[in-house]
Amino acid sequence: MAAYAVQNTLLVHHVRKLDGLSVAIFRNFSLIVTMSPLLFLATRAEIFAVFQNWPLLLAASATGAISLTFSLWSIKFLPVGISLAFRRGLGAILMFVAGFLMFGETISLIEAGIVLLVILTTTWVTLIKNNFEHLNHRVRIGFLLAIICTIFGVITFSLMSLLAREAGPAATGYFWEMGIGICALMIGFGRQIFGGKKIAKISGKVFLKIALISWPTLIATGSFAYAVTLGPIGIANAIGTGGILVGTVMAHFLYREKLKKMQWILIFAIAAEIAIFKLLGY
């Protein structure tokens, strides 16, 4: 999950110049090539099993496209660190809820207490305002987009986890990311047909830059898909907590998003609280 944070932070430059949906399309179509090594780790039977479960793959891909688009869109309004902390805090809570509803995975009383702490610190971090000139200052829209992204993110990761357990992690990870790209492209065409913004046109050089930035998805998606076959999805989701801090530090230097002291404290607190989920899972 830390690899997701790194690539998403680097994609910010392109997202703020273009739009979230266009970048999602370019990112995921580049993954068709850069994630192809996963196919060498999958058996023919596993690949066949993925397509046997095509309704699950389609649902996971469609919700993934929506989540990715809103995730990238939200960083036009929010500092990278705040967006990451908010989405990961809310996401950690919802992933445990999804684990309980879909797989019967329960949490202890101590873990429930930590969930409450995450809710409080995540809410607190949303109340502190920043005034960065390069951001659209309609912060409430940013948080609304982040909430939508997180809800669909929990759905897509839960469905992908279910598919990975049915068909194997390598094949699932590859075709899930490919499906997200195809679904994002269809959404882009639909938006254009109904009079919305056209899919951005970019040069081959920019596409290669996006592809280079996005290749760590090979590690991130492959690792997550494998992790959920070994244990609860909430614990697997909590493993990459460090990505919050990595993304925040990168944005501090790359985009000059210097957060307030209390925001740093709350981001560290959210990261620590989510990490404790992992420790309590053993």
From first to last of its 282 residues, what are the pLDDT tens digits of the chain? 566 777 878 888 888 888 889 999 999 999 999 999 999 999 999 999 999 999 999 999 999 999 999 988 888 888 888 888 788 778 777 877 777 776 676 767 777 787 778 778 877 877 777 777 777 778 889 889 999 999 998 899 889 989 999 999 999 999 999 999 999 999 999 998 888 889 999 999 999 999 999 998 888 888 878 877 766 555 555 555 556 777 788 888 888 888 888 888 888 887 787 777 656 654
Distance separating alpha carbons of residues 247 and 7, to the nearest angstrom? 9
Distance separating alpha carbons of residues 129 and 65, to the nearest angstrom? 29
Judged by DSSP in three states, 208 sits in helix
Distance separating alpha carbons of residues 234 and 244, to the nearest angstrom? 16
Residue from 172, 195, 173, 176 nearest 184 by CA: 176
Question: DSSP string spanning 222-239?
Answer: HHHHHHTTTS-HHHHHHG
Radius of gyration from C-alpha coordinates of the chain: 18
For the record, the structure tokens of 239 come out as 């493993």
pLDDT in the model for residue 220: 81
pLDDT tens sequence across 72-108: 888 888 888 888 878 877 877 787 777 777 667 676 7
Distance separating alpha carbons of residues 89 and 9, to the nearest angstrom? 17
pLDDT in the model for residue 118: 76
Q: What pTM, to 2 d.p., does this model score? A: 0.81
- Which positions ≥6 away from 87 have C-beta within 8 Å? 71, 74, 146, 149, 150, 153
- Which positions ≥6 away from 103 have C-beta within 8 Å? 162, 232, 233
pLDDT in the model for residue 278: 59
pLDDT in the model for residue 282: 44
pLDDT in the model for residue 255: 81
CB 233 within 8 A of CB 157: yes
